């Protein structure tokens, strides 16, 4: 029996497909096909797929909204798992909100606003999902998810456990989940009652600032590089004279140098070559080596 047959046998009922291109599932709009692809709707189905992949020694790629992901042109040699709608539910709790890993952070922020709950205003424009955001402690405008996380449901060693927010090791773009290889299933967020008008005003302010300063009209992965200690990546890139620098369809944004954008027809290789050019130029000029914030996976084309 081939791997597809084995996957279907180990995960009865799962809609496993072959050769699905991943470019339409990433915000950069680049990336080749995955050998196998599935969108589970329940925690049990997700756990089953991961267990099956491990049994078959098949690499697994867990995808949320694909907003912090660059898949190489050769695609992914393994099983790509994109969280389905059933893992995207959001509901009220006594202390705030509970959300599945597949829920979009923008939807979570809007749900909090509608419930007159404050603490998630900063997340209204972050394009990622709850799972991906928690995995890397996503943040913006002085706010981070770690500041409002009460507890996180994770899959660890085939078992589901609840980890208190204080034990997640939240720091700048890093959490314990990265070190422990945990799969995030969802979280409870601790939020306070607030003034609906003030919450809406703050969200509108953040949205306005994003439209003014960020190239939202082009596909991107948000800030492409981590903030180096004592510096801002975008400022270093701009000071190095790299605004507008392009490789194929990939370009350093003229609007915000911290963003690498897809001007149309870009390949993953275009982005990787542009990334290397930016890193080498900034390092030669300032002695600072920029590290990508995006996760780079897959095989070369």
Residues tagged active-site: 173, 223, 293
Q: At what angle do helices 3-10 and 43-55 cross, to 10 degrees?
A: 140
In this structure, the dihedral spanned by the alpha carbons of residues 74, 10, 186 and 203, taken in order and rounded to 10 degrees, is 40
SS3 for 20?
strand
The contacts of residue 246 (CB under 8 Å, 6+ apart) are 252, 263, 274
Contact 140, 170 (CB under 8 A): no
| Residue showing tokens 């969802």 | 186
Q: Residues of 267-295 as b/e, b for ≥16 C-beta within 10 angstroms? A: bbbbbbebbebbbebbeeeeebebebbbe
Tell me how far apart the alpha carbons of residues 109 and 112 are, in angstroms, rounded to a whole number.
5
Per-residue 3-state assignment (H helix, E strand, C coil) for 254-294: CCCCCEEEECCCCCHHHHHHHHHHHHHHHHHHHCCCCCECC
User: Residue 174, Cβ neighbours under 10 Å: how many?
Assistant: 15
Residue 171 DSSP class: B
Rounded-to-integer distance, Cα 91 and Cα 45, Å: 21
């Amino acid at each position: 029996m081939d791997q597809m047959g084995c996957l279907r046998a180990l995960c009865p009922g799962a809609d496993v497909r072959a050769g699905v291109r991943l470019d339409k599932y990433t915000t950069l709009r680049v990336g080749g096909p995955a050998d196998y692809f599935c969108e589970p709707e329940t925690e049990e189905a997700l756990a089953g797929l991961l267990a099956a992949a491990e049994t078959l020694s098949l690499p697994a790629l867990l995808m949320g909204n694909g907003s912090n992901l660059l898949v190489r042109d050769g695609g992914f040699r393994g099983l790509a798992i994109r969280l389905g709608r059933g893992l995207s539910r959001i509901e009220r709790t006594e202390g705030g909100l509970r959300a599945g890993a597949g829920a979009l952070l923008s939807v979570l922020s809007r749900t909090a606003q509608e419930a007159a709950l404050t603490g998630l205003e900063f997340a209204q424009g972050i394009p990622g999902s709850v799972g991906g955001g928690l995995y890397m402690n996503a943040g913006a405008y002085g706010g981070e998810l770690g500041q409002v996380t009460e507890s996180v449901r994770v899959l660890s060693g085939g078992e589901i456990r609840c980890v208190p927010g204080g034990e997640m090791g939240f720091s700048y773009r890093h959490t314990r989940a990265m070190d422990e290889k945990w799969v995030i299933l969802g979280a409870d967020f601790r939020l306070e009652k607030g003034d609906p008008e003030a919450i809406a005003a703050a969200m509108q302010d953040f949205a306005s600032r994003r439209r003014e300063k960020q190239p939202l009209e082009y596909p991107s992965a948000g800030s492409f590089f981590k903030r180096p200690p004592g510096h801002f990546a975008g400022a270093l890139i701009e000071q190095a004279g790299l605004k507008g620098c392009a490789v194929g369809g990939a370009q350093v944004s003229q609007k915000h140098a911290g963003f690498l954008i897809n001007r149309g027809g870009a390949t993953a290789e275009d982005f990787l070559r542009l990334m290397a050019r930016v890193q080498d130029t900034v390092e030669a000029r300032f002695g600072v080596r920029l590290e990508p914030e995006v996760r780079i996976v897959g095989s070369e084309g």
